[in-house]
Amino acid sequence: MDSIGIVNGFQWIDGSFLENIEVLENRDPNDLDIVTFHGFLDTHILHNITTSFPEFSSSIQSKTNFLLDHYPVDFTYHPIVTVEATRYWLQLFSHNRKGVWKGIVQLPLNTSSENELALDFLNGLGI
């Protein structure tokens, strides 16, 4: 996200992996569900994103290319739209299909130094 100019906001990550679906239903998760709350993108950055990374704004392309159900929310667009989008995604992500409560992972954007440390750690595992 940093490299394409999306540095203000956070992502909510959800999916059956949060329910331990591998053990409960003896299957791998099918995908990840992601909502990116972002803001303060100028028109030049938005144009670059839509041309160089169309999956960011197309849930169909993100699902096809990356197995991600991705939905962007521009929190600077309009306060009521932001509240309604947040309410919708929170209701959807906070329960599994059986109505059991579950969590949501929130990742901040613009964490370059933390990303480098994590990458160094993962590379050091020798997997």
Q: How confident is the prediction along the chain (127 residues), in pLDDT tens digits per residue?
A: 888 889 999 999 999 888 888 898 899 988 999 999 999 998 999 899 999 999 999 999 999 999 999 999 999 999 999 999 999 999 999 988 888 888 899 999 988 888 889 899 999 998 8
Bridge partners for 105 per DSSP: 13
pLDDT of residue 55: 95
pLDDT of residue 16: 87
pLDDT of residue 54: 94
pLDDT of residue 108: 94
> Which pair of tokens denotes residue 124?
């050091």
SS (H, E, C) 68-118: EEEEEEECCCCHHHHHHHHHHHHHHHCECCCCCECCCEEEECCCHHHHHHH
- DSSP category for residue 67: S
Measured CA to CA, the distance from residue 33 to residue 72 in angstroms comes to 11
The backbone torsions φ and ψ at residue 115, rounded to the nearest 5 degrees and listed phi first, read -60, -45
Q: pTM, whole model, 2 decimals?
A: 0.84
